Structure 1
């Protein structure tokens, strides 16, 4: 659009401005038209490629050339060069620099006509020359509007970048959640199954069929437990709503304990997100108890307070040989989960009471 206006002004000027020739005043008019055309074409140069000082020099020379053309031409539309140049000065420069140049343009163009410094005064009033300063207002308004549009675009781009960063963060958080769930399901179960199978392999040489069957049965039990845990994980990844107490009861019974759940307070169903994390913490704690304290008693307590839900898992000392040290990722995963719902988690050995020598995990989630 800007190129079209510029070329239109040049074409109209060449078609209407007189005299034009190869000698005398006609040659001077031709040269001035050419100079004004060059200065006017300069407004199409991208703003970021021209320093502000160069723009001021270019605009000043263009104003002088436009005023000279108004005075030298007898007839035509030479004044359009001044009008469009001043308008672009208002757009290209800040008001503190554009207004003085516009005043200079109005003063020169009006003065040339008022003082009759050429034949141009015969067809144009000196008031037209003074009006050459007015298009600066249009340029300033256009500049302000463009700045506002650029600010909106930049804000939108910034918001889009922030949204992409948030999406990446959410994706990483989801990967961490899936990694925790996979660890909860597979790490302990596969380690236990592998240990039983290695035991079976070692017992084959002894021919002790009784112990081989016991180890094989324990491996089968671990496989069944792993399948149940996998089902819970699928539910969690799908974000299905699971009943807290019903799921805890099934989880405790599948781990080989009966009547181990105690509920205090007014029973209610916490938010799905809270239930999901409590179940995963309970699963991890029960798995740790089975691995590190096999044969020990397990008690699970759920307390519904006015502003929080508390889950407490206690296990007594082992009565059989433990499977060995774990990876340490289970407790880290529980702490990560509790932090996601602004809760607190404490875990440590029990130093007194009937469960002395055992372990306790307590998770408190505010609501």
Structure 2
């Protein structure tokens, strides 16, 4: 539409502006018409194609050429160039310089017509010349709308970049969480299995088959424990996991610790991330209890408070022989990382009083 209007002004000028020729005043009019047409057509160029420092000189030259064309020609639609350039001044320039340049255009065009400085245009009132700068207001309005649209687009792009960054951060966080889960399942169990298998391999050379069978049985026990932990991990990793209370009860039942859960407060639904991390903390605590205090009593307390939820896993001292399995030390670190991501705290240490004295206690408090 804008291209059609621009071409329409140029064509109307060629058809109506007179004199138009190759000598004398006609040549001057022709040159001014070419300059006006070129300046007017240039307004369709993208903004990044014209250096900002050339915008003001370019539009000033255009206004001067439009005023001169009105003064030199004796008839025609030369004033249309001034009208369209004034509108584009408001679009290309900031408000203050645009108003100043448009005001100069109005004064010059009105002066040419008022003082009859040219050979013609007796039929055009000087008020028309003063009105040539008024389209600058339309240009300013269009520029404001363009800037508003650009601001909205920039905000949308910024929001999209922020969303992508957040997604990358979430992916990295999820990878860290999965790494902790893999460690919790594999590191402890595989280390113990490897130790028992190495022991069995060493005992083969001694011919003590009884001890070989004992080491092999312990390795099989660790394998069964690893499979059980893998089931817990799959359950904890599922986004559609059961509510915390049911999930924790099922975990304790599958690990052989029935009727050891004590619930304080009113059970309520908690976010999936909290459920997953509390289940992993419970799993790690039960694994450590089975490894370091076999046969010891186990107690689990789940406390629902107004602004937090607390999970405490307590075990008594060992009642059976403890297999010396060296851990990686990453279990407690993983617990702390999980709770820190949720804004909570975790404490772990020996039990110094009560029926479980000599045992161990892990307590995690997470705000919800």
When normalised by structure 2's length, the TM-score is 0.90
Number of aligned residue pairs: 365
1:99 maps to which residue? 99
Q: Within 2, Cα distance between the matches of 1:23 and 1:5?
A: 30
RMSD between aligned residues: 2.4
Pairing 1:317-356 to 2, within 5 Å after superposition: 317=317, 320-352=321-353, 355-356=356-357
1:297 maps to which residue? 296
8 Å contact from structure 2 (residues 257, 298) kept in 1:
no
Q: Within 2, Cα distance between the matches of 1:258 and 1:225?
A: 14
Q: Within 1, Cα distance between the matches of 2:247 and 2:177?
A: 20
Post-superposition CA distance 1:312-362 (Å, at most 9, x none):
223345553543432222112111222233322101234455655543211
Q: Within 1, Cα distance between the matches of 2:347 and 2:106?
A: 81
1:136: how far off? 0.5
Q: Within 2, Cα distance between the matches of 1:224 and 1:267?
A: 36
Pairing 1:128-207 to 2, within 5 Å after superposition: 128-207=128-207
Q: Within 2, Cα distance between the matches of 1:325 and 1:20?
A: 102
Post-superposition CA distance 1:247-306 (Å, at most 9, x none):
545544655x65572415246355253332222101111222333x25361422214243
Post-superposition CA distance 1:42-97 (Å, at most 9, x none):
32343345455432222222111101101211222111111111110011111110
Q: Within 1, Cα distance between the matches of 2:305 and 2:248?
A: 21
**Runs of 5+ in structure 2 lacking a partner?**
none
Q: Within 1, Cα distance between the matches of 2:293 and 2:333?
A: 22
Q: Within 2, Cα distance between the matches of 1:32 and 1:243?
A: 83
Q: Within 1, Cα distance between the matches of 2:201 and 2:178?
A: 33
In structure 2, relative to structure 1, the CA distance for the partners of 1:260 and 1:327 (3 Å cut) is farther
Q: Within 2, Cα distance between the matches of 1:247 and 1:153?
A: 46
Q: Within 2, Cα distance between the matches of 1:271 and 1:251?
A: 18
Q: Within 2, Cα distance between the matches of 1:121 and 1:271?
A: 83
In structure 2, relative to structure 1, the CA distance for the partners of 1:37 and 1:271 (3 Å cut) is same
Counterpart secondary structure, 1:313: strand
Pairing 1:1-367 to 2, within 5 Å after superposition: 1-242=1-242, 244=244, 247-248=247-248, 251-252=251-252, 255=255, 258=257, 261-266=260-265, 268=267, 270-271=269-270, 273=272, 274-291=274-291, 293-295=292-294, 297-307=296-306, 308-317=308-317, 320-352=321-353, 355-367=356-368
8 Å contact from structure 1 (residues 52, 93) kept in 2:
no
1:27: how far off? 0.8
1:222: how far off? 1.6
In structure 2, relative to structure 1, the CA distance for the partners of 1:243 and 1:226 (3 Å cut) is farther
8 Å contact from structure 1 (residues 87, 138) kept in 2:
yes
Q: Within 1, Cα distance between the matches of 2:259 and 2:188?
A: 22
When normalised by structure 1's length, the TM-score is 0.90
Post-superposition CA distance 1:7-55 (Å, at most 9, x none):
3322221122111111111111101101112222332343345455432
8 Å contact from structure 2 (residues 293, 315) kept in 1:
no
8 Å contact from structure 2 (residues 236, 279) kept in 1:
no
1:156: how far off? 0.8
